[in-house]
Amino acid sequence: MWNNFKNCFIKDNPVFGLFLGMCSTLAVSSSLNNAVGMGVCVIIVLVLSNVIISAMRKIVPDEIRIPVFIVVIASLVTILQMVLHAFVADLYTSLGAFLSLIVVNCIILGRAEAFASKNGIVPSLVDGLGMGLGYTFSLVLIALIRQVISTWGISFYNPFNPAQMIFDIKLPMESLKVTLFSSSVGAFFTFAVLAAIFAKIKANGESKAKKEAAK
């Protein structure tokens, strides 16, 4: 169970390893605020949907399991949207349509089908938390790189309270900034480089494991 949790960050990272949830990853990673906000939303939906689907796995017929999974996920996303709209309007506006698209996020539906529907509540909760944190880690990593290169600074405000500034760091040599990284092109380029790095790390790990097993 805990090995699966650790693998969510490198080996089975949902973004760089499994290439899931790409639309929202590339779209909302323009700033740390949006990345953290979306990450927290996905963690909440992923953990709750995994727990609920695991709890009802024995009473849902196989023939209708996918529609049932979608109804559960859609209900959770709708409740989340209503809460954000009522209490965190700025984040709700920033995430826009991508908040609704959590319903069809491949990470959430994929874990419901591949793991939660076949395992107990506690392992499903851990799996959802691991995948959610892995997704958030990926978002934050892309957003951090894009923000630094495009603005030559790092700023982060509490996504759930924009009036609360966490930090605002201006780096020297601001003339080196590349505004292209604030666009979709920069998002694709950043993702491609990071995906290649993660693939190399994964390949090195597998090669090392094979050599140790052969001894």
Per-residue pLDDT at 44: 94
Per-residue pLDDT at 172: 79
Write a three-state SS string for 19-31. CCCHHHHHHHCCC
pLDDT category at 8 given cuts 50, 70, 90 is confident
Which stretch of DSSP H or E encloses residue 1?
none
- Cα–Cα distance measured from residue 116 to residue 131, given in angstroms and rounded to the nearest whole number: 12
Instruction: Give the pair of three-digit tokens for residue 156.
Output: 């982060």
Reported as a single tens digit per residue, the pLDDT across 147-192 is 989 888 888 888 888 778 888 888 777 777 888 888 888 999 999 9
Q: Given a cut of 80, is residue 56 above it in pLDDT? A: yes
Mean pLDDT of the chain: 87
- Cα–Cα distance measured from residue 30 to residue 199, given in angstroms and rounded to the nearest whole number: 23
Q: How many CB atoms lie within 10 A of CB 3?
A: 8
DSSP state for residue 113 in the 8-state scheme: I
Q: Given a cut of 90, is residue 212 above it in pLDDT? A: no
pLDDT category at 105 given cuts 50, 70, 90 is confident
C-alpha count within 13 angstroms, C-beta hemisphere, residue 174: 6
